[in-house]
Structure 1
Amino acid sequence: MIAYPHTRRSAIAAAILTTLFSLTACGGGDGGSGGGDRPSVADIKGQITQSSGNQVTEEQAVCLAKTYYESDLSDEAVRLLVEAEDVSKISPEDLSEADQKASKALYDPLVKCLTPAE
Structure 2
Amino acid sequence: MEQLDELTATGYPALRHLDLGGSEFDATSLQLLAALADSPVLPQLETLAVPGLRIGRSDCADGEPLAELARLAPRFVHLALTVNGTVDIEGVDQQEADRLLGGASPRPQHGSGAREGN
Higher share in strand: 2
TM-score range, shorter chain: under 0.3
* TM-score for the superposition, normalised by structure 1: 0.26
Higher share in helix: 1
